[in-house]
Amino acid sequence: GRRKAAACVACHGPDGNSTNPTVPSIAGQVGIYLHWQLLLYRDKRRVDPQMAPIAAALSEADMADLAAFFAAQRPAPPAAAPDPARANTGRRLAETYHCNDCHGRDFAGREYAPRLRGLSRDYLVAQMRGFKARTRGDLDGAMTQAAQPVADADIEPLADYIGSVK
């Protein structure tokens, strides 16, 4: 996996820990989720000008190897804690919208839902807005459906909180 991952680190960072707030850290991500995302990019069900051609060139075995490699890497801790009042608002919103039901109490992810803790605020905001707008590829539609009742004003405090959970 490490040899195959050499090209990935240019964007996703060493061992999958990105320093670019618009690129997700994939270290410690749920392996099956990573594999599914590569399939979505390959099949043009998730659109990204950088990822689509990369995924198109990968075999199923390459995808499985990359997913396993990055899932086994240690994720970096969250970069910064949000304002305590904003974090408390985000925590309440996460409870209101039942985010933990799928992503786990500590947002570490589960077999069919990705790890969210430690992802950058900018990335989380962009993904939530994409799901809400129905422009973000979603394997089974669960997140697109879950995002519909989320108020636009709630997206940023949610992202502040979720990305800061340790």
Q: Please state, as a whole number, how many other Cβ atoms lie within 10 Å of the Cβ of residue 128.
A: 22
Alpha carbon of residue 127 to chain centroid = 8
pLDDT of residue 137: 82
Average pLDDT on 96-123 reads 92
Q: What is the pLDDT of residue 13?
A: 94
64: its two tokens: 């499985």
Q: What CATH number does the domain located at 4-71 have?
A: 1.10.760.10
State residue 14's pLDDT score. 85
Domain ranges across the chain: 4-71, 84-164
What span, in angstroms and rounded, lies between the C-alpha atoms of 119 and 12?
Answer: 11
**What are the CA-CA distances from residue 95 to residues 41, 111, 134 (Å)?**
31, 20, 23
- Residue range 116-135: mean pLDDT, rounded: 94
Is 153 exposed, middle or buried (CB count within 10 Å of its CB: 0-12, 13-18, 19+)?
Answer: exposed
What integer pLDDT is reported at residue 115 of this predicted model? Answer: 94
Please state, rounded to an integer, the average pLDDT across all residues of the chain.
Answer: 93
33 contacts: CB under 8 Å, gap ≥ 6: 109, 112, 113, 114, 115
Q: Which CATH class is domain 84-164?
A: mainly alpha
Each residue's pLDDT tens digit, 41-100? 999 999 999 999 999 999 999 999 999 999 999 998 877 777 888 889 999 999 999 999
The pLDDT value recorded for residue 112 is 84
More confident residue, 79 or 152: 152
Who has greater pLDDT, 30 or 81? 30
pLDDT for position 125: 97
Q: Which two tokens stand for residue 102?
A: 């799928």
